[in-house]
Structure 1
Amino acid sequence: MAITENYHSQWLSLLICALVLLQTRAIVNIPLTFPENAKAMGALCLDGSPPAYHFRKGRQEGQDNWLIYMEGGGWCHSIEECKSRTLDHKGSSKHMMENIHMFLGGILSRNPGINPSEFRNWNIVIMRYCDGSSFTGDVEQPVDNLYFRGKRIFDVITNELLDKGLNDAKEVFLTGTSAGGVSVVLNCDRFHKLLSNTTTKFKCLSDGGYVIHAKNDPKQAQGFESMFKDVVSLHNSTGMLPHTCTEKMKEKPYLCMFPQYVVEDMVTPIFILMLPYDAYQINVTLGHEVYFALRKSFKDHVKLPTPIYQVLKDFRLQFLDALPPCKPSNGMFINNCFGHTEIATITWNIDGNKINNVIDVQAIRDWYFDRKGVNLIEKIDLIKNCTADTYLAS
């Protein structure tokens, strides 16, 4: 029996590695593109290097359609943090090709076995993230040799894409994960207004970016609220936050980094793909003790202590209360997996990512192409291991 289990474990590991290699190959051959006007516009990464993006032309029926993916990578809210980011791709384009393996495919893959969606033949753009502010920073002069120019990076890349054919697109899907998912929420309506072709269909998707403003416990609220306050102050981000939100939050404009305060006034249709038990949100909001206890439970297959499980279940209720009211034009897919982001990882399009027998990729396709409304929220409150398609014992 032990030999059989070991054999299956090794076989599964090899299969996962093979899938990762297949997905990676879809992205590796896309070179970096540096916007021509970056230097003239003063659009710079934190370390002063030029921003960049990957562009893969569409084919066949997808030639006139665009999928734009905004990379994630958290935020920097102090000089020290921002300086540390200049040592890798999160603050410098000098290192961007070093982490190309991070793009595992998912919705970005052209392999129909990985990505059975129409999007695989579209023009694909990956907007690399090197400003630490979700493309909102707007500081004129460098500070300690750091450039806070997220707004200019957004402007120079989008302007170049418009000239490359985006402005004449039939369909455009703006997507992003984690901090990139926050970027999508903050820039969705703004991006839509850039398109002069009124017949262009435009929708947005935020994956792993719907972090909430936890208010039930003051200690919980200090996590993201404190971080966003410092990000907006350091990067001078207020001007790039949606005005419909900042007008309401005049005393605390940094709260407009929270998607829940922005989505309610958005005009453009948006799809929210999020986990109530999101690993990043848990680590920042509930703290390291809860995060590492949950991680250990999954890794070692041990029961999670009851008090910690209850804290997590209570937080899930907070998250559900923070979701926007249902609108026919919007969609959501909220499952109970423990993880972080889906659309560009190996957890995309797997059986564990189902709600009411609907898988994530199908839900997104149905919503984007107006086949049906999608408002799927997993009802059971148990935490799920989606790769194993099992629930954690309470």
Structure 2
Amino acid sequence: MAIAQNCHQWLTLLVCAALLVLQTKANFYPLIFPEKAKAMGAVCLDGSPPAYHFVEGTVENKDNWLIYMEGGAWCESIEECKLRTLEHKGSSKHMMMNPFFPGDYDFGFYGILNRDPAYNPSEFVNWNLVVIRYCDGSSFTGDVEEPVDNLYFRGKRIFNVITDELLNKGLKNAKQVFLTGGSAGAVSVALHCDRFRKLLPNTRRFKCLMDGGYFIHVKKDNPKQVEGFELTFKNVVSLHNSTGMLPQTCTQKMKDKPYLCMFPQYLMDGMKTPMFILMSSYDKHQINISMHESFVAANRTIREHVQLATPIYEGLKGFRLQLLDALPNKPSVGIFINNCFFHTEIATGYWANPNSQVNNVLDSKAISDWYFYGKEVNLIDKSEFIKDCYTNGYYSS
């Protein structure tokens, strides 16, 4: 109140209002730009430097690191990549740097990234926290030497320069590391998990987690479903020259179609590092790309509380079964699949939310049991109904 009482002029009021907003924002952390980015040619799509956030952990957790790779889909054409340079997914110029004017591009430190135990009950709450911002449009795989139409496809260099700087900041002495990411950031985790692990040969416990990124390669029922992600990944790998950053354990098998190695399901056999898959069988983004009409119908069902048409519902159930069939069967892989009609979980308000639990187990508890205690986790919502995790209700036809 004291701040507001001292604000008299309209400009001052604007600044003061922003200060009040900031006071309620428990998690704001400045951007850090890697010192060697320019020298290494590691830049965002528009040529601006890449960035990350770093929050130091408590003294007793100085050797424990939680790393989160930001998502944000991909750009698969010159036109799409140019559009991304107008906002934070293609330029650090548009990432939130001014704490007085948080806007649409401010990064929210929610869920597992929140430092408040009231919102993040996990053991990771006091670890060193790193958020690697995403501005290359290729899940950190692009490797084109010269700019094209003033666009820089340098995802590989961004990955290298940020990981190198983190190693020098103390990551090289880490005892425990958890590499996580959401959506396209989850695909980044799948692609770079083993590569990251090799940088830390002395780390006692290194594991990875994909949140909302287990996009499947649909092979049947509807050619349009197949076309969705397959065409996207094919275009991304071609435009960004990404093949060299795809795991060789996969590309050696997919010689004719290396872009299929962007699908996490094809990476799992060759992956050595333990991985946790957190996914909804009715993931909104996956359904929107592969079954857009069904996405629109399901969205309306939950928004307006109306029934789904039977053909739409049957198609969604079939898609769910394809996802379940594509899951790996490895003891080192943790699996948590709910039916919530949403996209990503750990860095949102759904984290540790009772409405999104499976078999009465919270995601935070399942992940903790798997990461710290080596328990096998294979939790799948056996119901075939779509779940509205806002109201904790299920929907069918």
The verdict on a shared fold, with TM-score over 0.5 as the criterion, is yes
CA contact (8 A) 2:75 2:138 kept: yes
Match of 1:354 in 2: 357
Match of 1:317 in 2: 321
Give the SS at the match of 2:346: coil
Q: Distance in 1 between matches of 2:25 and 2:181?
A: 20
Q: Distance in 2 between matches of 1:383 and 1:126?
A: 31
Matching of residues 38-187 of structure 1 within 5 Å: 38-97=37-96, 98-99=103-104, 101-187=106-192
Matching of residues 233-244 of structure 1 within 5 Å: 233-244=238-249
Residues 23, 310 of structure 1: CA spacing in aligned structure 2 closer, same or farther, 3 A cutoff? farther
**Correspondence for 1:292 among 292, 296, 303:** 296
User: Deviation digits for residues 227-246 of structure 1, max 9, x if unmatched?
Assistant: 10000000000000000000
User: Deviation digits for residues 265-306 of structure 1, max 9, x if unmatched?
Assistant: 10000000011100000011112x111111111111111111
Q: Distance in 1 between matches of 2:255 and 2:24?
A: 44
TM-score (norm 1): 0.92
2:28 is aligned with 1:25 = no
Q: Distance in 2 between matches of 1:222 and 1:88?
A: 27
CA contact (8 A) 2:54 2:128 kept: yes
Deviation of 1:61 (Å): 2.5
CA contact (8 A) 2:87 2:105 kept: no
Q: Which amino acid aligns with 1:53?
A: Y
Q: Distance in 1 between matches of 2:285 and 2:35?
A: 35
**Correspondence for 2:346 among 343, 346, 356:** 343
Identity of aligned residues (%): 67
Match of 1:372 in 2: 375
Q: How many pairs does the alignment contain?
A: 370
Deviation of 1:196 (Å): 3.5
Q: Distance in 1 between matches of 2:72 and 2:24?
A: 18
Q: Distance in 1 between matches of 2:152 and 2:392?
A: 44
Gaps of 5+ in 1: 1-20
Deviation of 1:73 (Å): 0.1
Bigger CA drift: 348-357 or 45-54? 348-357
**Correspondence for 1:383 among 371, 375, 386:** 386
User: Deviation digits for residues 195-229 of structure 1, max 9, x if unmatched?
Assistant: 142x4310000000100000112221111001100
Q: Distance in 1 between matches of 2:337 and 2:385?
A: 13
Q: Which amino acid aligns with 1:281?
A: Q
Give the SS at the match of 1:119: coil
TM-score (norm 2): 0.91
Q: Distance in 1 between matches of 2:375 and 2:105?
A: 35
Q: Distance in 2 between matches of 1:267 and 1:358?
A: 27
Residues 34, 120 of structure 1: CA spacing in aligned structure 2 closer, same or farther, 3 A cutoff? same
Deviation of 1:103 (Å): 1.8
Bigger CA drift: 167-176 or 61-70? 61-70
User: Deviation digits for residues 90-147 of structure 1, max 9, x if unmatched?
Assistant: 0000011044544241000111111101101000000000000000000000000000
CA contact (8 A) 2:95 2:106 kept: no
Deviation of 1:348 (Å): 1.1
Residues 215, 235 of structure 1: CA spacing in aligned structure 2 closer, same or farther, 3 A cutoff? same
Match of 1:245 in 2: 250
Q: Distance in 2 between matches of 1:118 and 1:23?
A: 25
Q: Distance in 2 between matches of 1:269 and 1:23?
A: 39
Structure 1 segments of 4 or more deviating over 6 A?
Answer: 21-24
Q: Which amino acid aligns with 1:130?
A: C
Q: Distance in 2 between matches of 1:159 and 1:343?
A: 26
**Correspondence for 2:213 among 179, 186, 209:** 209
Deviation of 1:23 (Å): 12
Q: Which amino acid aligns with 1:47?
A: D
CA contact (8 A) 1:63 1:121 kept: no
Q: Distance in 2 between matches of 1:241 and 1:24?
A: 42
Q: Distance in 1 between matches of 2:136 and 2:163?
A: 16
More helix by share: 1
Deviation of 1:386 (Å): 1.1
Gaps of 5+ in 2: 1-20, 97-102
Q: Which amino acid aligns with 2:233?
A: F
User: Deviation digits for residues 128-172 of structure 1, max 9, x if unmatched?
Assistant: 000000000000000000000000000000000000000001100
CA contact (8 A) 1:24 1:101 kept: no
Match of 2:269 in 1: 264
Deviation of 1:392 (Å): 1.1
User: Deviation digits for residues 242-277 of structure 1, max 9, x if unmatched?
Assistant: 000000000000000000000121000000001110
Computed over aligned residues only, the root mean square deviation of the Cα atoms, in angstroms, reads 1.5
